[in-house]
Amino acid sequence: NGRRADVIALCGAGRLTIVEIKSSVADFRADRKWPGYRDFCDRFFFAIPDTVPESLIPDECGLIVADAFGGLVIREAPEHPLSGPRRKAVTLRFAHSAARVLHSLADPGAIRDGAL
Protein backbone atom coordinates (compact mmCIF):
# COMPACT_ATOMS: atom_id res chain seq x y z
CA ASN A 1 0.00 0.00 0.00
CA GLY A 2 3.04 2.29 -0.26
CA ARG A 3 3.54 2.59 3.49
CA ARG A 4 6.25 1.02 5.60
CA ALA A 5 5.56 -0.93 8.75
CA ASP A 6 7.94 -0.55 11.68
CA VAL A 7 8.77 -4.29 11.69
CA ILE A 8 7.76 -7.06 9.31
CA ALA A 9 8.78 -10.67 9.84
CA LEU A 10 8.58 -13.66 7.53
CA CYS A 11 8.76 -17.09 9.19
CA GLY A 12 9.93 -20.30 7.55
CA ALA A 13 6.33 -21.33 6.88
CA GLY A 14 5.76 -18.10 4.96
CA ARG A 15 3.58 -16.40 7.57
CA LEU A 16 3.93 -12.60 7.63
CA THR A 17 3.75 -10.68 10.90
CA ILE A 18 3.74 -6.90 11.26
CA VAL A 19 4.63 -5.08 14.47
CA GLU A 20 3.82 -1.40 14.89
CA ILE A 21 5.81 0.33 17.62
CA LYS A 22 4.03 2.99 19.65
CA SER A 23 6.02 4.98 22.18
CA SER A 24 3.15 6.82 23.88
CA VAL A 25 -0.60 7.25 24.06
CA ALA A 26 -0.32 10.31 21.81
CA ASP A 27 1.70 8.30 19.27
CA PHE A 28 -1.01 5.61 19.17
CA ARG A 29 -3.87 8.09 18.88
CA ALA A 30 -2.15 10.04 16.09
CA ASP A 31 -1.64 6.91 13.96
CA ARG A 32 -4.44 6.49 11.44
CA LYS A 33 -2.57 4.16 9.07
CA TRP A 34 -2.29 0.97 11.12
CA PRO A 35 -5.68 -0.57 10.19
CA GLY A 36 -4.50 -0.76 6.57
CA TYR A 37 -1.48 -2.85 7.56
CA ARG A 38 -3.71 -5.75 8.60
CA ASP A 39 -4.48 -6.39 4.93
CA PHE A 40 -0.79 -7.15 4.31
CA CYS A 41 -0.01 -9.66 7.06
CA ASP A 42 -1.28 -12.82 8.70
CA ARG A 43 -0.82 -11.40 12.20
CA PHE A 44 -0.60 -7.83 13.48
CA PHE A 45 0.92 -6.70 16.79
CA PHE A 46 1.47 -3.45 18.61
CA ALA A 47 4.63 -3.08 20.68
CA ILE A 48 4.34 -0.56 23.51
CA PRO A 49 6.31 0.45 26.60
CA ASP A 50 4.82 -0.31 30.00
CA THR A 51 3.85 3.37 30.29
CA VAL A 52 1.11 2.93 27.66
CA PRO A 53 -2.09 1.33 29.03
CA GLU A 54 -2.62 -2.13 27.55
CA SER A 55 -6.36 -1.41 27.41
CA LEU A 56 -5.69 1.14 24.66
CA ILE A 57 -4.71 -1.60 22.18
CA PRO A 58 -7.66 -3.09 20.26
CA ASP A 59 -8.51 -6.73 21.06
CA GLU A 60 -8.12 -7.72 17.40
CA CYS A 61 -4.40 -6.92 17.60
CA GLY A 62 -1.59 -8.76 19.33
CA LEU A 63 0.27 -6.97 22.10
CA ILE A 64 3.96 -6.86 22.99
CA VAL A 65 5.22 -4.88 25.97
CA ALA A 66 8.84 -3.92 25.37
CA ASP A 67 11.71 -1.97 26.86
CA ALA A 68 15.33 -1.39 25.88
CA PHE A 69 16.23 -4.97 26.83
CA GLY A 70 13.50 -7.01 25.16
CA GLY A 71 9.81 -7.64 24.88
CA LEU A 72 7.10 -9.94 26.14
CA VAL A 73 4.09 -11.08 24.13
CA ILE A 74 1.13 -10.24 26.36
CA ARG A 75 -1.55 -11.16 23.83
CA GLU A 76 -1.13 -13.26 20.70
CA ALA A 77 -2.44 -11.74 17.50
CA PRO A 78 -5.34 -13.55 15.86
CA GLU A 79 -4.48 -15.07 12.50
CA HIS A 80 -6.08 -13.73 9.35
CA PRO A 81 -4.43 -15.70 6.51
CA LEU A 82 -3.57 -13.70 3.42
CA SER A 83 -4.92 -14.76 0.05
CA GLY A 84 -2.44 -16.55 -2.21
CA PRO A 85 -1.90 -13.63 -4.62
CA ARG A 86 -1.53 -11.09 -1.79
CA ARG A 87 0.92 -13.38 0.06
CA LYS A 88 3.03 -13.76 -3.08
CA ALA A 89 3.08 -10.00 -3.74
CA VAL A 90 3.99 -9.08 -0.15
CA THR A 91 6.62 -11.83 0.10
CA LEU A 92 8.28 -10.74 -3.15
CA ARG A 93 8.33 -7.13 -2.01
CA PHE A 94 9.77 -8.22 1.35
CA ALA A 95 12.49 -10.25 -0.41
CA HIS A 96 13.38 -7.37 -2.72
CA SER A 97 13.66 -4.96 0.19
CA ALA A 98 15.78 -7.41 2.20
CA ALA A 99 18.07 -7.95 -0.80
CA ARG A 100 18.56 -4.20 -1.17
CA VAL A 101 19.50 -3.88 2.50
CA LEU A 102 21.92 -6.80 2.28
CA HIS A 103 23.47 -5.40 -0.89
CA SER A 104 23.88 -1.96 0.68
CA LEU A 105 25.64 -3.54 3.68
CA ALA A 106 27.98 -5.49 1.41
CA ASP A 107 28.56 -2.51 -0.91
CA PRO A 108 27.78 0.79 0.86
CA GLY A 109 28.49 2.80 -2.28
CA ALA A 110 25.85 0.94 -4.32
CA ILE A 111 23.00 3.26 -3.34
CA ARG A 112 25.07 6.38 -3.90
CA ASP A 113 26.25 5.10 -7.28
CA GLY A 114 22.72 4.23 -8.39
CA ALA A 115 23.23 0.46 -8.49
CA LEU A 116 20.21 -0.09 -6.23
Neighbouring residues of 48: CB distance < 8 A, sequence distance ≥ 6? 21, 22, 23, 28, 54, 56, 57, 63, 64, 65, 66
pLDDT tens column, 95-104 = 999 998 898 8
Q: How confident is the model at residue 108 (pLDDT cuts 50, 70, 90)?
A: confident
Does residue 57 surpass a pLDDT of 70? yes
Does residue 64 surpass a pLDDT of 60? yes
Does residue 59 surpass a pLDDT of 90? yes
pLDDT tens column, 4-56 = 899 999 999 999 999 999 999 999 999 989 999 999 999 999 999 999 999 99
